[in-house]
Each structure stands twice: as C-alpha cells, then as structure tokens.
Amino acid sequence: MASPALVQAQEIADDFLMTKPLRPRFIDAAPFWMSLGMVPLTICATLWGGWWFLILPAYAWYLTSLMDLLLGTSEENPDPMTPERNLRWYRAITLIWPPLQIALIFGAIWYVRHEGHLSGLEQIGLFFGIGVASGTIGMVYAHELLHQKNTHERWLGDLLLAASLYSHFRSEHLHVHHSWVATPRDAVTARYNEGFHRYFARVLRDCPRSAWRAEAARLARSGRSPRDLRNPFWRYAALQLALLALAFALGGLAGILLFLWQALVAIWQLELTNYVEHYGLTRKYLGEGRYEHVLPRHSWNAAHRASNWLLINLQRHSDHHTKPDRRFPLLQTYSPDEAPQLPFGYPAMTFVAMVPPLWRRWMNPRVRAWRRQFYPEITDWRPYNRAENPPPRNAL
C-alpha cells in the first residue's frame, strides 16, 4: 500500500497537471446521461401533440446553453491513462441510446399513424423534434462508437447513422476527414467566409462521393473491386433499406415521409456541428500535395460544462483529432495558447451559424486572429480560401 506521503504527493501532482483519475462510479458519469431527458420529452410530445414538440429543441439548444452560462467552463483534464474498467458507466450511455432512439422513432411512427390524434402539422413538428434528438445526440454517439475498435460498438454506430440515412458518414469521417481535416481535400472543413447554407449543399453533394472513393481505394489496395462484399456500402444500404421498410410497415407512405423528415433534420444538425468545428482553420501547406500534421490548433474547442455533458465532450475536439480512438471521458482540453476557443458551446454557436452575416461578424475576426497567432509568416491567405485546389508551391 502506498504511504500517505506518496498519496499526498500524487494528489499534488494531479492538481498541478489538472488531471483527475476517473473513478468507476455512476455519480461521476451521471452528468453525461443528460441526453436521457429527451426520452420522456419525446413521449410527451407524441402523446399530447400541440406545441410540445418545441420542448425537444428547447432542451437540446436553449436549456443547455443557459446551463453553460450558469455553470461556466471546466478546464480539468482526466487522467488519460484511466483503465477501461473505470469507464463502464460513461460507456453505458452510448450503448443504451441506440435502442432507445430506434424505439422512439419507430414507436412514434406507429403511434401517430394508428391513433390519428395528431394533425399533419403536429406530426411534422413532432418529427422535427425527434430529428433534433437524432442529430444532436444520436449522431454524436454514433461518432463516438464508430471510432472504437469493438465490433459491437461499431455496429451500434452504424445503426444510428442508418436511422438518419447517413451511413456513408462512417467511411468519409474515418478515411477522409481525419486524414485531410483543415485542408481543401476535406469537404467537411468549412472554408473561411463560407456561409452554412452553401457549405451544407456542398457536403451533401461531395461527401457521399468522397466516402465511396475512399472505400474503393481501400479495396483496390488489397486487389479487390468496389463491388466486393467487404465494401461497407453494402451494409449501409442494407441497414437503411431495412429501416425504410420498417417505417413503411408501421406507418405506410406517411411513415416513410416522417422517417425521411427526421433524418433530414438530424443531418442538418450534424453538419451544423461539423461546420463549426473547423471553420476557417487550415493546416500549413508544405508543397507537393503535403500538409503539416494535424495539431490542436486545427479545431475549434469549447470548455463549456453543460454542452460537453450533452455532447459527450465533443467540444474537446482538438484532442479527438490527436487521439481519435480515445474514449470521450478521457478527452483533454487545451489552453488558448494551443488551440482556438469558441465564445460559447456548440449548441449556441450552431444557432449563430444559421445566420451567415452574424456568423461572419463573430467568427471572421477570430479566424484572422488565429492566423496571426499561429502562422504569422503567411501573408497571403487567398490560396487557402479555395475549396477546389491546394495552394501552389509558391503560396508560402
């Protein structure tokens, strides 16, 4: 057993480094379970209709942002060497949510189509709220799960993505985004001065093709055709078609339309977050198609407490790009000297992103300050603002 003096010295070192070992206790992980608040709210909106659907986005966006203002930020870093067994209560919420989300979506389709107590507009409102839950929570949990090596977790991630008809995100995210983030080769990195609506149309067009090319190239390296059954696009198609068929079985054509509507809302929520995460940030071009390694400076971070609970530390985004398979409770935060910081959490920032003139007024000065801070030697940023081609060799 360690001596009291040694224990005290370790505690002092932890405080100095701002690292805290995570204990295997539910009470410590409980704040990250706040997503479960969406479950009873969805049930109430399904049963009672009216304006109840507004409570779902209000919970995800406004209440979380208000809690950020009241609770402030958290700069503490957990011990990244915390053993896996200590994370069971943190991991549990990501394993519980996929069946809950599927039950909410398809239970609502069956109920509203068979009970007939909601008008058409009420059904549209309800499935807008369900789409907010699918995008704000489901997509974030899918992102966490698809980065893990455990096959069971990856399948749950695939199920969540299929529930939003966005299965290609797995291939695009793992094989394109993480390799080419903050470069013109990454469609998901929002360009400087690019409004969200233009960005959204671009990623909807480019990302499926990018994901397909990545998988085709991966198969080609092992001498296989893109039509090989090892191509995950077969799995993506099967899962999505199965869920569409279930929506039809439970609600007919209207069931499919409601399913498609919540999926579109979820995709919109995901891409709003993607837009915020790297807006205007660019890795230094080294010539001949090469860029510097991904660094903490290439992601926007937010240390706001409540939104990190809801989004399971997604806002510690720089560390995620440094250690993509690091589980969310162990992600580290960075100081402004290492990584750019947002004035508010992602939920509030995505709301601002929907108004491009306001977004540019807030964020363009921050991007320019980031450029002066990290790349004072670059005086001509015009080549870095182009979406089509990397900058020429003489750009620097």
Q: Is 358 left (phi over 0), alpha (psi -120 to 50) or beta?
A: alpha
Amino acid, res. 65: S
Is 9 a member of any domain? Answer: no
Is 335 a member of any domain? Answer: yes
Is 336 a member of any domain? Answer: yes
Is 53 a member of any domain? Answer: yes
Q: How many domains does the chain have?
A: 1
Helix axes 196-221, 356-374, angle to 10 degrees: 60
Q: Is 252 left (phi over 0), alpha (psi -120 to 50) or beta?
A: left
Query: Tens digit of pLDDT per residue, the chain (396 long)?
Result: 445 444 444 443 444 345 678 899 999 999 999 999 999 999 999 999 988 889 999 999 999 999 999 999 999 999 999 999 999 999 999 999 999 999 999 999 999 999 989 999 999 999 999 999 999 999 999 999 999 999 999 999 999 999 999 999 999 999 999 999 999 999 999 999 999 999 999 999 999 999 999 999 999 999 999 999 999 999 999 999 999 999 999 999 999 999 999 999 999 999 999 999 999 999 998 888 889 999 999 999 999 999 999 999 999 999 999 999 999 999 999 999 999 999 999 999 999 999 999 999 999 999 999 999 999 999 888 777 664 444 444 333
Give the CA radius of gyration of the chain. Answer: 22
Taking a C-beta distance cutoff of 8 angstroms, is the pair 311, 328 a contact? no
Is 183 a member of any domain? Answer: yes
Is 14 a member of any domain? Answer: no
Taking a C-beta distance cutoff of 8 angstroms, is the pair 108, 46 a contact? yes
For residue 352, give every residue at least 6 positions away whose Cβ sits within 8 Å of its Cβ, in sequence order, or none: 344, 358, 359, 362
Q: Which DSSP letter does residue 231 get?
A: S
Is 326 a member of any domain? Answer: yes
Taking a C-beta distance cutoff of 8 angstroms, is the pair 79, 313 a contact? no
Residue (of 278, 347, 326, 368) closest to 91 by Cα position: 326
For 172, the domain range is 30-74+90-387
